[in-house]
């Protein structure tokens, strides 16, 4: 800034003392301001654990479980402290937040809860550390089944996370509504067409009820891609999403268009919820706490954990659910072998590369995974066990009506391609689904997906 | 400039000037550190392929991000929607409505002025997220607006689903009009009474007086207000995110929402940053147009 020409020229003055003052002042101001952004990686005895807290304020069983484990851990490790860092956000936002935390040693937690479908992407980004050394010295690791061990194994052959359970997917149906629609209580569709016909019968004979819910669109996030789309896609043929032999993501496939067509049929024939409800980010919560328990929905293509919403002290108590609902496996498209489809995911505990206390974090994982805690957690979170000792535990087997059915889907289940690009492919699937849900054509949605894939996997 | 002083005085002057900088040095330093630094870093990121996850390496890719943006129909859609949103809610909505309110309130009685002003300003001081939820509740299918229409036996529809960009534009008008109203109230109060009275004596009608006297006299305020409104509206994110998440499909996905989607949901930090720079460009284009049109000196 030049001095304004109209301003009187400043009279030079001796300024020794004044200058020293302002120098000291200036220096101290800057120092003070900079001290505020130093931050610290926490103290040496505190282990920081980041996990996703449900956006539904009635669901706090994960927090309660971790709190109990924290007490056990602190008793067993005198002088050590555990700091739980709950992140209450939608699935996508939780992932973005944790990824940003892991970028810097100042903010990286010591332990994070990672969805298996994102973990390979985070491994490729260098956010996580391999756990092979610790796992080889951990006697209980042998109890984990092979598929689960592979869930957090990267392309480099090393393991980066400890899974705490898995899940399977199928059809839940309301027997009372089915009786009104003239459908059997032991219903098991063999093809997509039979499933759609059942939904049409409900629409005809039981007005005011949503016949079938298939998660769709961007807002539902991975629920749409996995519970919705891939449950269809994996019933159309082998390796419909990613071809491991050619190492290429499939584009322009027939199965992809057929699966999109199915979604389009559900929403254009009004067999599903109103599109505006289906595309609402809170659709999952509404389905579990309102549509299902209040008899507003006949068939839900959903996960094995759905029952945990209705148990005693759950977010929406519904004592009659175990008798009111039936389960059926999702059929393949034309009943081609093996006839049933399921997808599995699950979550793992992983240790960030920039964690300040990796060893303490692994000790916490061991505390989480004592047999007693592992059973308690799989029961509380309605998970399918990934450990032989847990799967044989009577408390687990008694825990949930339908658990035998959903455990029985394990032989038919598929895991999503564990590749870094998967989360972006999943987002592209969500967009393609959203476009057909709002009445767009299948061909143009499939084309847009192919274009996106070309740019993602350059 | 004063005539050249003798040498010792010059050093004294120079020293005095240097000392005058000292008190603002900390602020300058902090601004450089926390504002210019990140902005420069963003400028660099826009030319890389940095990702939030999925790849540990960061490569310099030149203009690839920008080429990709211009080839992406979703980006073009976001630009169009941003223009629609800005023109509807900032130019036509907030600006015109603010001016109308200010002009009408000049003639109104004190109680009317107080009540109107209080209502309009309340909408403005609400936190963005609160306003967004209020308007979400107003527009949703079981919301207030449809209840009203139902009472009047008019057809109802799900506004957030059928006309999402209009719904969020209306929300932005509702929330931001107070700002324009305050600016124009102040500007109108500055107009000398006697000019208007002279025009009245000469027999100019109200509309003519407004067009030929009032508007030219508040030209500068119009320019300032348009500029501030536009820049604020271009960067609206929370309101749209809370009401529609840019959906359904991408029918209310303005540039800031698109940017968030690409950078944090698809993890393409580099590309998202490039889009941010392009948003900056859109903002400066608007500013240049206003400066030219209204011949305002900044």
Task: Identify which of B19, B53, B68 has the shortest CB distance to residue A121.
Answer: B53
Rounded distance, CA B187 to CA B102, Å? 9
Task: Identify which of B25, B55, B248 has the shortest CB distance to residue A26.
Answer: B25
| pLDDT of res. A402 | 85
Inform me whether the pLDDT recorded for B259 exceeds 70: yes
Number of C-alpha atoms within 13 angstroms, CB side, residue A105?
A: 9
Q: How far is B100 from chain A (nearest CA, A)?
A: 36
C-alpha distances out from residue A370 to A77, A101, A140, A142, B34, Å? 15, 28, 8, 13, 47
A351 close to A111: Cβ distance less than 8 angstroms: yes
Q: Can you list the positions of beta strands (E) in A10-65? A: 46-53
Q: Which of B248, B260, B264 to mutate to test the interface with A (most CBs of A within 10 A)?
A: B248
With contacts defined as CB-CB under 8 Å, which chain B residues touch A420?
Answer: 53-55
Q: How far is B273 from chain A (nearest CA, A)?
A: 15
Write out pLDDT tens, residues B136-183. 999 988 888 989 998 998 888 888 888 899 999 999 999 999 999 999
Nearest residue to A409 (alpha-carbon basis) of A304, A288, A280: A304
pLDDT category at B202 given cuts 50, 70, 90 is confident
With contacts defined as CB-CB under 8 Å, which chain A residues touch B26?
Answer: 26, 29-30, 33
What does residue A382 show for φ and ψ, rounded to 5 degrees?
Answer: 50, 45
Residue of B nearest to A439 (CA): B249
A403 Cβ neighbours under 8 A, 6+ residues apart:
A304, A382, A384, A396, A397
Q: Which of B51, B53, B238 to mutate to test the interface with A (most CBs of A within 10 A)?
A: B53
A280 Cβ neighbours under 8 A, 6+ residues apart:
A219, A286
- Inter-axis angle of helices A442-456 and A254-268, to 10 degrees? 130
Nearest residue to A307 (alpha-carbon basis) of A229, A389, A378: A378
Domains of chain B from N-terminus onward: 66-294 (1.10.3720.10)
Residue of A nearest to B17 (CA): A10
With contacts defined as CB-CB under 8 Å, which chain A residues touch B30?
Answer: 30, 33
- DSSP lists the bridge partners of residue A115 as A347
A274 Cβ neighbours under 8 A, 6+ residues apart:
B141, B158
The answer to whether B9 faces chain A, any CB pair under 8 Å, is yes
Q: Which of A26, A90, A117, A453 to mutate to test the interface with B (most CBs of B within 10 A)?
A: A26
Tokens of B187: 């500007």
Q: Is residue B250 classed exposed, middle or buried when 0-12, 13-18 and 19+ CB atoms within 10 A define those classes? A: buried
| pLDDT of res. A39 | 42
B window 185-214, beta carbon within 8 A of A: none
Interchain contact, B158 vs A5, CB within 8 Å: no
Task: Identify which of A12, A13, A30 has the shortest CB distance to residue B26.
Answer: A30
Q: How far is A75 from chain B (nearest CA, A)?
A: 36
A415 close to A147: Cβ distance less than 8 angstroms: yes
With contacts defined as CB-CB under 8 Å, which chain A residues touch B22?
Answer: 19, 22-23, 25-26
The answer to whether B259 faces chain A, any CB pair under 8 Å, is no
With contacts defined as CB-CB under 8 Å, which chain B residues touch A126?
Answer: 56
pTM: 0.79
Q: What is the DSSP string of A138-152?
A: -GGGGGB-HHHHHHT
A302 Cβ neighbours under 8 A, 6+ residues apart:
A169, A170, A171, A172, A213, A227, A287
With contacts defined as CB-CB under 8 Å, which chain B residues touch A12?
Answer: 9, 12-13, 15-16
B window 83-122, beta carbon within 8 A of A: none
**For tokens 């309102």, what's the residue?**
A290
The pLDDT > 90 percentage for chain B reads 46
| pLDDT of res. A26 | 54
Return averaged pLDDT per consecutive 10 residues of chain A, 458 residues in all: 42 49 56 51 81 86 94 94 93 91 95 91 93 95 86 88 93 97 96 97 96 93 93 94 89 94 96 91 89 96 91 86 95 95 94 95 96 92 88 87 86 84 88 92 94 76
Interchain contact, A434 vs B249, CB within 8 Å: yes
Rounded distance, CA A265 to CA B56, Å? 41
Write out pLDDT tens, residues A132-163. 999 999 999 999 988 788 888 888 889 999 99
Rounded distance, CA A248 to CA A457, Å? 9
B253 close to B77: Cβ distance less than 8 angstroms: yes
Write out pLDDT tens, residues A15-65. 445 555 555 655 565 555 555 544 444 567 899 999 999 887 878 889 999
The answer to whether B149 faces chain A, any CB pair under 8 Å, is no
Q: How far is A350 from chain B (nearest CA, A)?
A: 15
With contacts defined as CB-CB under 8 Å, which chain A residues touch B68?
Answer: 455
The answer to whether B16 faces chain A, any CB pair under 8 Å, is yes
A245 Cβ neighbours under 8 A, 6+ residues apart:
none
Interchain contact, A276 vs B158, CB within 8 Å: yes
Q: What radius of gyration do chain A's Cα atoms show?
A: 27
With contacts defined as CB-CB under 8 Å, which chain A residues touch B17?
Answer: 3, 10
Interchain contact, A124 vs B54, CB within 8 Å: yes
């Amino acid at each position: 800034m030049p001095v304004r020409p109209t301003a009187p020229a400043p009279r030079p003055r001796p300024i020794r003392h004044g200058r020293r003052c302002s120098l000291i002042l200036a220096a101290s101001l800057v120092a003070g301001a900079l001290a505020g952004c130093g931050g610290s990686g926490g103290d040496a005895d505190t282990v920081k654990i980041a996990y996703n807290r449900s956006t539904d304020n009635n669901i706090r069983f994960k927090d309660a479980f971790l709190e109990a484990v924290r007490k056990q851990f602190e008793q067993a490790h005198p002088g050590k402290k555990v700091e739980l860092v709950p992140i209450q956000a939608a699935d996508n936002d939780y992932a973005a937040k944790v990824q940003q935390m892991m970028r810097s040693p100042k903010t990286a937690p010591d332990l994070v809860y990672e969805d298996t479908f994102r973990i390979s992407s985070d491994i490729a980004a260098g956010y996580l550390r391999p756990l092979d050394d610790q796992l080889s010295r951990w006697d209980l690791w042998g109890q984990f089944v092979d598929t689960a061990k592979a869930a957090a194994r990267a392309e480099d052959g090393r393991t980066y996370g400890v899974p705490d359970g898995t899940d399977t997917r199928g059809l839940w149906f309301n027997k009372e509504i089915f009786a009104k629609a003239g459908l059997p209580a032991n219903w098991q569709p063999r093809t997509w067409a039979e499933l759609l016909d059942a939904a049409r019968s409900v629409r005809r004979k039981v007005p005011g009820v949503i016949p079938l819910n298939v998660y769709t669109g961007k807002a539902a996030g991975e629920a749409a891609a996995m519970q919705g789309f891939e449950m269809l896609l994996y019933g159309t043929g082998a390796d419909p999403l990613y071809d491991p032999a050619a190492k290429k993501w499939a584009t322009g496939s027939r199965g992809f268009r057929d699966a999109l067509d199915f979604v389009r049929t559900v929403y254009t024939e009004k067999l599903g919820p109103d599109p505006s409800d289906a595309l609402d980010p809170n659709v999952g919560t509404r389905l579990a706490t309102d549509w299902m328990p209040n008899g507003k929905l006949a068939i839900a293509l959903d996960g094995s954990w759905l029952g945990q919403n209705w148990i005693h002290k759950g977010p929406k108590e519904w004592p009659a659910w175990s008798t009111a609902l039936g389960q059926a496996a999702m059929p393949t498209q034309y009943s081609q072998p093996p006839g049933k489809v399921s997808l599995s995911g699950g979550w793992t505990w992983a240790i960030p590369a920039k964690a300040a206390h990796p060893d303490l974090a692994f000790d916490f994982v061991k505390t989480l995974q004592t047999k007693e805690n592992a059973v308690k957690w799989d029961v509380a979170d309605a998970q399918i066990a990934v450990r032989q000792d847990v799967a044989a535990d009577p408390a687990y087997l008694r825990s949930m009506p339908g658990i035998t059915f959903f455990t029985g889907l394990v032989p038919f289940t598929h895991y999503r391609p564990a590749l870094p690009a998967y989360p972006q492919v999943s987002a592209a699937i969500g967009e393609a689904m959203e476009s057909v849900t709002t009445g767009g054509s299948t061909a143009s949605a499939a084309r847009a997906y192919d274009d996106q894939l070309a740019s993602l996997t350059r | 400039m004063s005539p050249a002083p003798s040498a010792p005085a010059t050093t004294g002057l120079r020293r005095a000037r240097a000392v005058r900088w000292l008190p603002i040095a900390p602020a300058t330093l902090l601004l450089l550190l926390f504002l210019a630094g990140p902005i420069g870093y963003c400028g660099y990121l826009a030319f890389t392929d940095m990702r939030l996850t999925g790849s540990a390496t960061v490569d310099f890719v030149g203009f690839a991000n920008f080429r990709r943006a211009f080839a992406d129909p979703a980006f073009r859609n976001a630009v169009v929607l941003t223009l629609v949103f800005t023109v509807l809610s900032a130019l036509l909505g907030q600006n015109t409505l603010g001016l109308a309110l200010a002009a009408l309130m000049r003639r109104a009685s004190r109680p009317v002025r107080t009540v109107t002003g209080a209502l309009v300003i309340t909408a403005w001081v609400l936190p963005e997220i609160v306003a967004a939820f209020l308007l979400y509740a107003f527009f949703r299918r079981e919301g207030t607006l449809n209840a009203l229409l139902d009472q009047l036996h008019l057809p109802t529809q799900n506004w957030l689903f059928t006309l999402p960009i209009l719904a969020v534009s209306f929300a932005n008008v509702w929330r931001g009009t107070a700002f324009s109203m305050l600016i124009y109230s102040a500007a109108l109060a500055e107009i000398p009474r006697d000019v208007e009275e002279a025009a009245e004596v000469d027999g100019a009608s109200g509309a003519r007086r407004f067009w030929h006297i009032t508007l030219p006299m508040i030209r500068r305020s119009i320019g300032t207000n348009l500029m501030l409104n536009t820049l604020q509206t271009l960067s609206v994110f929370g309101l749209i995110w809370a009401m529609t998440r840019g959906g359904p499909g991408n029918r209310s996905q303005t540039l800031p929402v698109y940017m968030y989607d690409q950078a944090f949901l698809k993890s393409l930090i580099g590309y998202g940053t490039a889009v941010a720079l392009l948003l900056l460009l859109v903002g400066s284009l608007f500013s240049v147009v206003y400066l030219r049109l209204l011949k305002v000196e900044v």
